[in-house]
Structure 1
Amino acid sequence: MEAVAVATAFVRHDGEVLATHRSEDAQTYPGQWGGVSGVIEPGEDPVGDEETPVEAARREVHEEVGLSDLDHVRTGTPLTIEAPEYDATFEVTPVLFDAPGREIDLGVELQSAEWLPATELLRRETVPRLFESYQRVAPSVQSVAADDEHGAAELSIRALEVLRDRAGLLVAEGESDADELQYLANRLREARPSMAVLRNRVNRAIATAEDGDSEGAGTANDATPSGDPVPAPTDDPYPAPADDFAATPADVERAAIDGINRALAGDAEAAMRAAGLVSGWHVLTLSRSSTVFEALQADTAAALSIAESRPAREGIDVAETLAAAIDAPITVHTDAAIAHRLASAGVDAVLVGADAILPDGGVINKTGTRGAAIAAAREGIPVYVAAASDKITTSEGVNLESGHPAAVYDGGAAVDVTNPTFDVTPADAITGIVTERGVLEPGDVSEIVERLRALEPAGAR
C-alpha cells in the first residue's frame, strides 16, 4: 500500500473547533466529518524540500475554509491509519491552530462546516480516529501548567476544555463512574496556584454538574469588542456543590461547556466595559491580558503606551498585533521607562489585567504592575484593572510564580538570580476593578469572595 503523509488541522476559536463536512464527491471518506486535512506536498526535485506539517496545515486551512493569520499552538505525534479501501496507509500529523475569528469561506471539497465543542466530534460520522488525532494536540493538565505565554482568563478556558474533553470521552465509552473527573478537577485546580480564575471556573463547572443546572448554555446576540458573538451563560453563577461528588460524565461535559460559555461572556463584558471607560484616553499597559487586549482592540483609546514586559517581552507581541488592527498611535518602551512615561507623555490612565484579585482588593499580576501603579499614584494618574469577577481569589495567602533564572542571567558569575513573574499591587494603589458587573472599588470585593467560597468543594471550605 502507498504511504501518504497527511496534515490535519484543528482550528480553535473560543473553546470550539472547526469541523468540516466533506463533499459527497471527495476522493477519500466522502460525506464524513473531519478537521481540515490535506496531503503534505513533496518538494520539487532537485532542491525542493517537503512541506512541514504546519506549512501544509496552514495551506489547507487557507484553501479550504479561507482562514489565515493562524496562531500555531502545537503539533502532535503522527497517527498511522490503515486504509485498504484506498490501497493506502495515511500518516496523519495533527496540528492545532488558534484562529482570530470565525468567518469562513468554504472550498469546493466541503459541503459545510460548523464550530463545535470538540466532544461533538464523538457524535458525528467522522474520518477514522478523528478524536484520537485531536487528543494529540488538545490541551492537557501539563500544557496548562507549563503555559507561560497566555493570561489566566485564557488558561481557565483551556482547563475547562480539558475537563470537557475527558468527560465527553467517558460518555462516548459508556462509562458512568465520574471519580476520574473529580480527580482531574483537583489536578486542574492546582495546576496554576496563582490563577484564581482557573480554580473558580473549575469549581463552578463541578458545582453546576452536581446541581444539574447546565442545560442553558447557548449563544447570545451580544458581541465582543472584535465583533464575534458571545456565548450566553446560564442564570445561576453560584450553584452550591454537593458534599459527595455524584455527577455523571454527561453532567460534567455539559457543565464544562456551559462554563466555557459563561467565562467567555464574562471576559467579553469586562473588556467592553473597559473599552468604554478608556475612550479618548492615552492608556499605558504592560504584559498580555486577554481582557485588556480585547478592550484595546476596540480602538476607543486615543493613544497607547505599551511596556515590553521582560523577560518574555509579551508586550511587543501585543503592540505589533494591535498596530495592525487599530488606528490609535502606539509607543513601545522598556519596563524601566514606565515611570518616565507616566511623568512626561500625557498618559491619562494605566489599564492592566489580573491573574488574581485578592480579598482585600489587591491585585496579583505580571511583575512590573506594582511599580507602574506606584509611579502612577505619584503622578495622580488612575489605575484600572480589567478582569472578570471570577478572578477574585478566596484565599488570603499569596502564591507567586517565578520563571526560570536563565531567562534573566545564564552567565558564569557567582550571583544569585531571581525571576519573579508576578507581583502584588496593594488595593490603595488601584482606582477601580472593571468587571462584567461594572467598576468595583477594592472594598466591593468581599461580597463576591463569599459567593465564590460557596463554590468550593466541601473539603476546601
Structure 2
Amino acid sequence: MAHVVTAFLRNRGEVLLVRRSDTAGTYPGRWGGVSGSVEGDADDPLADARREVREETGIGEEQLTLVRRGDPVAVDDAEGSFTVHPFLFDCATRAATPNAELAATEWVRPPAMLARETVPRLWDAYRAVGPTAETVAADRTHGSAEVSVRALAALRDEAASLAHTDGSWDDLAATARRLRDARPGMTVLATRVNRVLQEADRTPTAVRDRAAAAVAAAVDADDRAAREAVALLAAHGDDGADPAVVTLSRSGTVAETLERLDGPVFVAESVPGGEGRDVAASLATDGRAVTLVPDAAVASLLATGRVDAAVVGADAVFPDGSVANKVGTRGLALAAAREGVPVFAVTARDKVAPTDAFHPEWADFAAPDGVEAYAPLFDRAPGECVSVVTEDGVFDREAVRAVAEDHRALAAWDAEGDADRGGDGDDGKE
C-alpha cells in the first residue's frame, strides 16, 4: 500500500484546494489538498508534507505553522490502495503559485469539498485534522478570539457533515453545547456559538451557512478593533512618533495592533506559560526596539516613565466594565493607573460577558510537599483602570451593559441546556 501526504493550508477560516491536472497519474481533474508520495519515513512524513507544499504551491516553510497531524485515512479503489497522512497548517499567505501538476488553486470554506468532485475521502482527511470541541478545549496556545474562530469552524464543519448525511438537529445541538462550554472563561466562544444557533433555522444546513459567515465576521471584527486601537494610541506618542507600549500575554488582536505601530514595545514574559517570549520574538523585526520584561518587573518599568501606554487583550469584559485577561493584567492595570499610564483592552465586542460569572481556570503549578499552590491563569482588572476598545470604538460602562443584555438574549436557543447546567451558577465575583 502506497503512503501519501495531504496538506491542508488554512488562512482566515478557509483552506486551499488544488485541482489536479488532466494528465495526473491518479485522479486527473479532481480537487484535493496539496498531496504527494511519501519519500521518507512513513511514520514521520512531515518533511514530505512541507516539501509537497513548496513544490506544488511555491509556499515556503517560513509561511507555515503546523497545527495538527491526523490519523491516517485508508483509500482502496480502482486507482490503487493508499494510506493518506493528513496535515493541517496555518498559512501566512494566500499567494500560491501552482506547478505543472496542478490545473488550478482556490481558497474555499472547507464544506465546499462536499459539493466538488474530489479525490477519495478528502473530507474524511480534512476532518481528521480540522478543529473539534476537544481541540478547542485543549488549546492553551492561542488567544480567546482565535479559539472562538476555531470553535465556529468546528461547528460549521459538523453542521456540514450532518447536512450531507441528513443528520439530526439533536446531534448538532449537542456538538454546539460542547463547543460553547469547552472554555467557560472565554466569553467570546459562548457568544459566537450562541448567536449562530439563535439566528439560524433549526437545520444543519442553516447552521453550516451561518457559522461560515460568523467565521468571516469574527476575523473582520479583530481587524477593525486593531485599527481603532492604533488610532487611539497614535495620540500618546511624543512629537508625532508612535508611542512606547507595554503588553502582556498573547492576543491576536493586540498583535495586529502592535504590528501597525513602529514604537518601542515592552513585552511581559507572561507566566505561567511564558508566551510573552514568542510574542517578543515575533515583534523584533526590521530593527524594532523590543524588550522582554519579567512579570515581577512590570510595575517597576511603568515607574520609569519609559512607557506611554499599555495594550492588552481580553478574554471577557464584564457588565461592570472590568476585564478578565491572562493573570498579571490586574497588577499591570493597577500599577499603570498609579503612574498615569493609560491602559487599553483591545477586543471584539463579542467578548462582553452576559453575566458577572468569572472563571479563572488554573495552571499546572507544582508546589513543594505540604505547600498549597495558587496559580490562576486569568485575573480581573478593575473597569476604572482600563479603556475597552472594540471594532465599534471605545465602550463606556453604559455601552458595555447594553451589549451584555444583548448577549444574554442569545442563549435563548438552548433553554434545555441552560436548565441542565443549573443556570449561571456561582457568579465568581472578586
TM-score, normalisation: structure 1: 0.85
Match for 1:308: what amino acid?
Answer: E
The correspondence of residues 261-300 of structure 1 with structure 2, limited to 5 A, is: 261-279=216-234, 280-298=242-260, 300=261
What's the counterpart of residue 19 of structure 2?
21
Instruction: Rate the CA distance shift 1:9–1:345 in 2: closer, same or farther, 3 A.
Output: farther
CA offsets per residue over residues 231-250 of structure 1, 9 Å max, x none? Answer: xxxxxxxxxxxxxxxx1111
Instruction: Rate the CA distance shift 1:346–1:209 in 2: closer, same or farther, 3 A.
Output: same
Deviation at 1:353, TM superposition (A): 0.1
**3-state DSSP of counterpart to 1:191:** coil
What's the counterpart of residue 454 of structure 1?
409
Please point out which of 58, 62, 66 is paired with 2:58: 66
Deviation at 1:396, TM superposition (A): 1.6
What's the counterpart of residue 237 of structure 1?
none
Distance in 1, matches of 2:287 and 2:93, equals 20
Greater shift in the superposed pair: 415-424 or 363-372 = 415-424
Distance in 2, matches of 1:185 and 1:125, equals 29
Please point out which of 397, 408, 433 is paired with 2:388: 433
Tell me whether 1:134 sits opposite 2:126 in the alignment.
yes
Given that 1:275 and 1:301 are in contact with CA atoms closer than 8 Å, whether structure 2 keeps it comes out as no
Please point out which of 246, 264, 280 is paired with 1:303: 264
**3-state DSSP of counterpart to 2:410:** coil
CA offsets per residue over residues 368-397 of structure 1, 9 Å max, x none? Answer: 000111111111100000001000000122
What's the counterpart of residue 313 of structure 1?
274
What's the counterpart of residue 173 of structure 1?
165
**3-state DSSP of counterpart to 2:7:** strand
**3-state DSSP of counterpart to 2:404:** helix
What's the counterpart of residue 323 of structure 1?
284
Greater shift in the superposed pair: 159-168 or 66-75 = 66-75
Deviation at 1:366, TM superposition (A): 0.1
Distance in 2, matches of 1:374 and 1:424, equals 11
What's the counterpart of residue 103 of structure 1?
95
What's the counterpart of residue 157 of structure 1?
149
CA offsets per residue over residues 276-335 of structure 1, 9 Å max, x none? Answer: 22231101001100100111112x2411001111121111111111223x5531111111
Please point out which of 359, 367, 373 is paired with 2:327: 367
Distance in 1, matches of 2:4 and 2:203, equals 37
Deviation at 1:139, TM superposition (A): 0.7
Q: RMSD across aligned C-alpha pairs, in angstroms?
A: 1.6
What's the counterpart of residue 357 of structure 1?
317
Match for 2:54: what amino acid?
Answer: H
Distance in 1, matches of 2:223 and 2:407, equals 20
Distance in 2, matches of 1:360 and 1:38, equals 55
Match for 1:81: what amino acid?
Answer: V
Distance in 1, matches of 2:323 and 2:190, equals 16
What's the counterpart of residue 186 of structure 1?
177
Deviation at 1:359, TM superposition (A): 0.6
What's the counterpart of residue 200 of structure 2?
209
**3-state DSSP of counterpart to 1:134:** helix
**3-state DSSP of counterpart to 1:351:** strand
CA offsets per residue over residues 196-225 of structure 1, 9 Å max, x none? Answer: 100010111112213xxxxxxxxxxxxxxx
Distance in 2, matches of 1:96 and 1:126, equals 18
Deviation at 1:101, TM superposition (A): 2.4
Greater shift in the superposed pair: 113-122 or 386-395 = 113-122
Given that 2:272 and 2:363 are in contact with CA atoms closer than 8 Å, whether structure 1 keeps it comes out as no
What's the counterpart of residue 80 of structure 1?
74
Tell me whether 1:386 sits opposite 2:346 in the alignment.
yes
Deviation at 1:185, TM superposition (A): 1.3
Distance in 2, matches of 1:327 and 1:27, equals 49
Distance in 1, matches of 2:398 and 2:308, equals 24
**3-state DSSP of counterpart to 2:411:** coil
Instruction: Rate the CA distance shift 1:103–1:51 in 2: closer, same or farther, 3 A.
Output: farther
Distance in 2, matches of 1:60 and 1:384, equals 43
What's the counterpart of residue 417 of structure 1?
373
- Unaligned segments of structure 1, at least 5 residues: 43-48, 211-246
Deviation at 1:364, TM superposition (A): 0.5
CA offsets per residue over residues 17-62 of structure 1, 9 Å max, x none? Answer: 11111111112111000011111213xxxxxx67832211111111
The correspondence of residues 198-277 of structure 1 with structure 2, limited to 5 A, is: 198-210=189-201, 247-277=202-232
What's the counterpart of residue 34 of structure 1?
32
Deviation at 1:360, TM superposition (A): 0.4
Given that 1:5 and 1:91 are in contact with CA atoms closer than 8 Å, whether structure 2 keeps it comes out as yes
**3-state DSSP of counterpart to 1:456:** helix
Distance in 2, matches of 1:349 and 1:442, equals 21
Given that 2:156 and 2:212 are in contact with CA atoms closer than 8 Å, whether structure 1 keeps it comes out as yes
Distance in 2, matches of 1:20 and 1:345, equals 54
Distance in 1, matches of 2:93 and 2:328, equals 31
Distance in 1, matches of 2:173 and 2:43, equals 42
Given that 1:41 and 1:51 are in contact with CA atoms closer than 8 Å, whether structure 2 keeps it comes out as no
Aligned structure 1 segments of 4 or more residues deviating by more than 3 angstroms: none
What's the counterpart of residue 428 of structure 2?
none
Distance in 1, matches of 2:145 and 2:294, equals 25
Deviation at 1:104, TM superposition (A): 1.5
Distance in 2, matches of 1:327 and 1:441, equals 37
